Amino acid sequence: MAHILAIANQKGGVGKTTTAINLAAALAQAGRRVLLVDCDPQGNASSGLGIRIQDPDQTLYRVLLHENGPPPLSRPLEELPLWVLPANPTLAAAEWNLTATPDSETVLAARLQPLSDRFHFIVLDCPPSLGLLTVNTLCAAHSVLIPLQCEYFAMEGLSLLLDTIRKIKLRWNPSLAIQGILLTMFDRRNNLSHQVATEIRKHLGSRVLKTLIPRNVRLSESPSHGLPVLLYDRSCAGSRAYTALAREILQKGAHRE
Ligand SMILES: Nc1ncnc2c1ncn2[C@@H]1O[C@H](COP(=O)(O)OP(=O)(O)OP(=O)(O)O)[C@@H](O)[C@H]1O
Ligand SMILES: [Mg+2]
């Protein structure tokens, strides 16, 4: 059975998609079969792997709104056992239409269930909101990884996210665990980055993962080539960091309560 891992933070631009793509690729590089589900109407996890789809029938939109038929999975890279269930902007309409569906919070969980035996990991890239799409990912997930950018307002909004996770555990998904807080875009030459990382570790202790993701230009370049950083520049600091993150998650055991 796949471990379903949501990458969530309602704050925008904190490194969710970069983490979803590159952690998925690093887990695949470690020999795991991985499905990356793009749950964001921005479609960045899809386009970052070179997948641009106009037809909503070939995206998560159809999977959420119509149960019929096999899900439209793509395998963008021959080198890695990594599949993608893509999204495009029509997914925003799915969020709206879902509100009229019974059990609208658990539709994604139900749709992923038949796929579970085919993969070791299913990674869910969330949009920057706590709307119904994110709620669906948290209802479907076994654990949630929370990227926090090493900047002054990093922890703003974190308590709201933790509160949402608590509510989802109470109502729909009692075994949802926090995989960890991931510090992203750490700039070692910048004092503020150090201060913020120290502060966050002081407040959140062992919930913060050991692996730190550095600010690395290769990580921001690789999506425009449709590649995870591991295939774009294998030896750069970003590749090393996401390989270490995959190792940390595999060693800890993907977290279940
Ligand atoms: N470690 C990093 N080093 C350098 N640039 C990074 C790093 N992580 C992310 N970026 C860049 O920062 C921007 C935001 O990252 P990303 O898209 O992963 O965030 P996000 O949380 O998914 O955003 P959104 O909330 O809009 O979905 C992107 O341009 C990305 O390339
Ligand atoms: Mg994103």
Q: Which residues have CB under 6 Å of ligand 1?
A: 12-18, 40, 42, 44, 128, 184-185, 213, 215-216, 219-220
Q: Is the pLDDT of residue 37 over 70?
A: yes
Q: Is residue 136 in some structural domain? A: yes
Torsion, Cα of 100, 105, 110, 112 (10° steps): 110
Q: Tell which one of 14, 16, 18, 189 to mutate to probe ligand 1, the residue whose CB is within 8 A of the most ligand atoms.
A: 18
pLDDT in tens, 218-238: 999 999 999 999 999 999 999
Q: Is residue 195 in some structural domain? A: yes
**CATH assignment of the domain containing 179:** 3.40.50.300
Torsion, Cα of 221, 148, 13, 158 (10° steps): 170
Which protein residue's CA is at the shortest distance from atom 16 of ligand 1?
15
Sheet of 208-214, strand order:
82-85, 34-38, 121-125, 3-7, 143-149, 177-186, 208-214
CA of 59 to the centre of ligand 1 (A): 22
Q: Is residue 106 in some structural domain? A: yes
Q: Is residue 257 in some structural domain? A: no
Q: Which atom of ligand 1 is the closest one to the Cα of 128?
A: 25
Q: Which atom of ligand 1 is the closest one to the Cα of 21?
A: 18
In the chain, the percentage of residues whose pLDDT exceeds 90 is 89
Q: Cα 21–25–26 angle (5° rounding)?
A: 120
Q: Is the pLDDT of residue 70 over 70?
A: yes
Range of the domain at 44: 3-252
> Of all helices (H) and strands (E), which one includes residue 126?
none
Domain count along the chain: 1
Average pLDDT over residues 11-32: 97
Cα dist from 193 to 9, 29, 146, whole Å: 19, 30, 17
Q: Residue 69: its pLDDT value, please?
A: 81
Which protein residue's CA is at the shortest distance from atom 9 of ligand 1?
15
Q: Residue 231: its pLDDT value, please?
A: 98
Q: Tell which one of 216, 220, 225, 230 to mutate to probe ligand 1, the residue whose CB is within 8 A of the most ligand atoms.
A: 220
Which protein residue's CA is at the shortest distance from atom 14 of ligand 1?
13
Beta strands in 132-246 (DSSP E): 143-149, 177-186, 208-214
Q: Residue 254: its pLDDT value, please?
A: 62
CA of 16 to the centre of ligand 1 (A): 7
Q: Which atom of ligand 1 is the closest one to the Cα of 185?
A: 1
pLDDT in tens, 169-215: 999 999 999 999 999 999 999 999 999 999 999 999 999 999 999 99
Token pair 């230009």 is found at: 217
**Residue 239: count of CB within 10 angstroms of its CB:** 24
For residues 141 and 254, which has the higher predicted lDDT (pLDDT)?
A: 141
Q: Which atom of ligand 1 is the closest one to the Cα of 9?
A: 21
Q: Residue 155: its pLDDT value, please?
A: 83
Q: Which atom of ligand 1 is the closest one to the Cα of 215?
A: 3
